[in-house]
Structure 1
Amino acid sequence: MRFLRILIALPVLLTVTAVIGLYGGLLKIKSSFDSLAMNIQNAGTMHSPNYKNLFEMYDLTDLAMLKPLKAPKGDFEFLLTPNITVEVPDYLFEKDIVLSIIVAIKSDYRRSKERQAIRESWGGMRYFNGMRIHVVFVIALAGTKKENRAMKAESIKFEDILQVSMKETYRGIGLKVLAAMQWAGSYFGDDWLYFSGDDDILPDFGVLVSNINTLRQQSLKSGSFQKSFPIHCAFRHVGEPKVHRAGKWVVSPSEYPGKHYPAMCLGGFYGMTVKLAKAIYNASRHYPYFRHEDVFITGFMRLAVCDSHLENEFHFSNDKFCAISSIRNSHFKHLNVLPDEYKNRWFKREKEMRYNGADIVKCNITFI
Structure 2
Amino acid sequence: MKCFTFSRCKVLRSTNMSGSCTITQIVKLFSMLIAVLIFGYNISFTLPLLRWQYYVRSVNIRSISLPVKISPITSEILEKHHVTHYFSEAVQEFRLPENYLKNVKKSTATKSFIIRPKKLMRAYDSFFMIIIVKSTASSIDRRMLIRRTYGSLQMLNKHRFFTLFVVGRSFNKETQFKVQKESDENEDILQVDSDDTYKGLPAKVLACYQWIYYELGDVSAFYATTDDDCMVNVVSLFVYFSTNTVKLKSSRSMFCGFDHSEHLTPNRNKTSKYYVPHQVYPAKTYPQFCHGGMTVMPFTLLSDIYQMSEITNRTGMVLEDVFINGILRYKLGKGNSNILPMSKSYFGPMIWHLGQSNADELRFKFTWTAVTSLLTIRVNNTIRHMGILPRKFRAHMTNAVLTML
- Name the TM-score, length of structure 1 as normaliser: 0.72
Structure-1 separation of matches of 2:221 and 2:242: 13
Displacement after TM superposition at 1:148 (Å):
1.0
Is 1:333 the counterpart of 2:328? The answer is: no
Residues 1:285 and 1:71: Cα distance change in structure 2 (over 3 Å) = closer
1:87 matched residue in structure 2: 124
| Range with bigger deviation, 185-194 or 333-342 | 185-194
**Residues 190 and 275, structure 1, Cα contact 8 Å, conserved in 2:** no
Amino acid corresponding to residue 122 of structure 1 in structure 2: Y
Partner of 1:113: 141
- CA spacing shift, 1:280–1:205, aligned 2, 3 Å: same
SS at 1:133's partner residue? Answer: strand
**Corresponding residue for 2:43?**
none
Q: Deviations over 1:14-61 (max 9, x none)?
A: xxxxxxxxxxxxxxxxxxxxxxxxxxxxxxxxx979xxxx9xx43325
Cα distance per residue 1:240-295 (max 9 Å; x no partner): 22221222211223332322111100011111112221111111010121221111
Q: Which position in structure 1 is the counterpart of 2:227?
A: 198
Residue in 2 that maps onto 1:322: 337
User: 1:285 is matched by which residue type in structure 2?
Assistant: E
User: How many Å separate the matches in 2 of 1:81 and 1:123?
Assistant: 17
Query: What secondary structure is seen at the aligned counterpart in 1 of 2:164?
Result: strand
Q: Distance in 2 between matches of 1:244 and 1:166?
A: 25
Distance 1:260 1:147 in 2: 40
Give the corresponding residue for 1:355. Answer: 388
Paired with 1:118 and 1:161, the residues of 2 have a C-alpha distance of 13
The alignment partner of 1:172 has SS state of helix
Unmatched segments (≥5 aa) in structure 2 = 1-87, 376-386
Residues 342-364 of structure 1 deviation map (CA, whole Å, 9 limit, x = unaligned): 13421332123432321111023
Q: 1:162 maps to which residue?
A: 190
Shift of 1:229: 4.0
Aligned partner of 1:258: which letter? A
Kept in 2: contact 1:86–1:188 (CA 8 A): no
Give the distance between the partners of 1:118 and 1:191, measured in 2 at CA: 20
- Aligned-pair CA distance for 1:366: 9.4
Equivalent positions of 1:1-368 (< 5 A) are: 57-60=93-96, 62=98, 64-73=99-108, 75-83=110-118, 84=120, 85-88=122-125, 100-185=128-213, 186-189=215-218, 191-216=220-245, 218-219=247-248, 225=249, 227-246=250-269, 247-289=272-314, 290-305=317-332, 307=333, 318=334, 320-329=335-344, 331=349, 332-336=351-355, 337=357, 338-341=359-362, 342-353=364-375, 354-356=387-389, 357-365=392-400
Counterpart of 2:231, as a letter, is L
Distance in 1, Cα, partners of 2:177 & 2:361: 26
User: Relative to structure 1, is the Cα distance of residues 218 and 192 closer, same or farther in structure 2, using a 3 angstrom cutoff?
Assistant: closer
Q: Give, in angstroms, the shift of residue 296 of structure 1.
A: 0.7
Native 8 Å contact 2:167 2:204 kept in 1: yes
Partner of 1:361, secondary structure, is: strand
What's the offset of the Cα at 1:187? 0.8
Q: Which amino acid aligns with 2:398?
A: C
By how many angstroms is 1:215 displaced? 4.7
Once the 2 structures are TM-superposed, how far is the Cα of residue 147 of structure 1 from its aligned partner?
A: 1.6
Q: Higher mean Cα deviation, 238-247 or 272-281?
A: 238-247
Q: Is the 8 A contact 2:110 2:193 kept in 1?
A: no
State the structure with more CA Rg: 1
Task: In structure 1, list runs of 5 or more residues that go unmatched.
Answer: 1-46, 89-96, 220-224, 308-317
C-alpha separation between the residues in 2 aligned to 1:215 and 1:61?
A: 36
1:216 shift after superposition: 2.4
Cα 1:197–1:207 shift into 2, 3 Å: same
Return closer, same or farther for 1:238/1:125 CA change in 2, 3 Å cut-off.
same
Cα contact 1:232–1:324 (8 A) shared by 2: yes
> 1:324–1:190: structure 2 CA closer, same or farther, 3 Å change rule?
farther
Please give the root-mean-square deviation of Cα atoms over the aligned residues, in Å. 2.7
Q: Helix, strand or coil for the counterpart of 1:210?
A: helix
Counterpart Cα distance in 2 of 1:263 and 1:184? 25
Equivalent-residue separation in structure 2 for 1:129 and 1:229 (angstroms):
25
Note if contact 2:259-2:293 (Cα within 8 Å) is conserved in structure 1: no
SS in 1 for 2:144: helix
- Cα distance in 1, alignment partners of residues 183 and 219 from structure 2: 26
Deviating runs (4+, > 6 A) in structure 1? none
User: Quick one: percent identity of the two aligned structures?
Assistant: 26
Q: C-alpha distance in 1, partners of 2:172/2:339? A: 40
**Structure 1 residue 217: deviation in Å?**
5.2
